[in-house]
């Protein structure tokens, strides 16, 4: 997991996470070969029930952590921690066999400078309860969240792409299974688990997800998440 992030602990600083689901807009090509959007129309590969299915997948982490991984849906993208976009592509978990450029964004990250305000926040954070406590070492990065939006790493971490091309060949029931499962899997990566498990029973297994039933994070998945959130963080992704 830390191999992908160049040894850095990357995680969220506080919950609930605010989720915004984008609505894709259909496009058409005019007589001159130019592509333009069609206002008020969505692509044929997108359906209005997809956000609810994806949200159910995200919430499997809430139920398996006893409510710690709490999230809420917001209707304003400017207020969101994570922006969910939809693509007409086939699903591929980029963390099963990560390419070099996946790690480059973490390797090139420059931590923010330490200030007196950050020191004060570090002292205050020591009283944070729970085994998922916000580690004091994380505050320095968290204080710079608004400014750090310009960093490539935060833009990537704040965007979650859900591909839908595989759903076209599935029955309605199988499509729901598939979308909820990949949503749960991708949300696990968004929480900071940037790797793939070698255990086929884990949600984040390197093996393909089965679509015969809904999948939930395993005990190993949750224990790995606990370990991540108990470690000093190098990069914290929100401060709200």
Q: What is the pLDDT of residue 115?
A: 56
Mean pLDDT of the chain: 82
Q: What is the pLDDT of residue 84?
A: 97
Confidence check: pLDDT of 133 > 50:
no
Confidence check: pLDDT of 230 > 80:
yes
* Domain boundaries defined on the chain: 10-236
* pTM for the predicted model, two decimal places: 0.80
Q: What is the pLDDT of residue 128?
A: 47
Backbone φ and ψ for 72, nearest 5 degrees, come out as -135, 150
Confidence check: pLDDT of 111 > 70:
no
10-236 placed in CATH 3.40.50.300:
no
Q: What is the pLDDT of residue 208?
A: 67
Summarised one tens digit per residue, pLDDT across range 26-85 is: 988 877 778 888 888 999 999 999 999 999 999 999 999 999 999 999 999 988 999 999
Q: What is the pLDDT of residue 33?
A: 79
């Amino acid at each position: 997991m830390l191999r992908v992030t160049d040894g850095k602990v990357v995680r969220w600083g506080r919950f609930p996470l605010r989720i915004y689901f984008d609505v894709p807009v259909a496009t058409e090509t005019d007589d001159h070969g130019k592509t333009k959007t069609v206002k008020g129309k969505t692509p044929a590969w997108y359906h209005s029930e997809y956000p609810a299915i994806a949200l159910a997948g995200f919430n499997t982490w809430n139920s398996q952590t006893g409510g710690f991984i709490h999230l809420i849906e917001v209707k304003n993208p400017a207020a969101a921690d994570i922006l969910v976009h939809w693509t007409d592509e086939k699903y591929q978990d980029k963390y099963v066999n990560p390419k070099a450029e996946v790690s480059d964004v973490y390797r090139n990250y420059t931590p923010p400078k330490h200030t007196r305000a950050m020191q004060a926040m570090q002292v205050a954070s020591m009283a944070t309860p729970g085994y998922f406590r916000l580690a004091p070492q994380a505050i320095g990065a968290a204080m710079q969240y608004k400014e750090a939006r310009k960093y490539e790493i935060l833009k990537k971490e704040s965007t979650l792409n859900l591909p839908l091309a595989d759903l076209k060949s599935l029955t309605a029931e199988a499509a729901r299974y598939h979308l909820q499962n990949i949503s749960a899997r991708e949300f696990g990566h968004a929480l900071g688990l940037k790797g793939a498990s070698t255990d086929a029973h884990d949600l984040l297994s390197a093996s393909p997800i089965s679509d015969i039933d809904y999948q939930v994070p395993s005990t190993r998945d949750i224990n790995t998440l606990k370990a991540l959130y108990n470690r000093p963080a190098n990069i914290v992704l929100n401060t709200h």
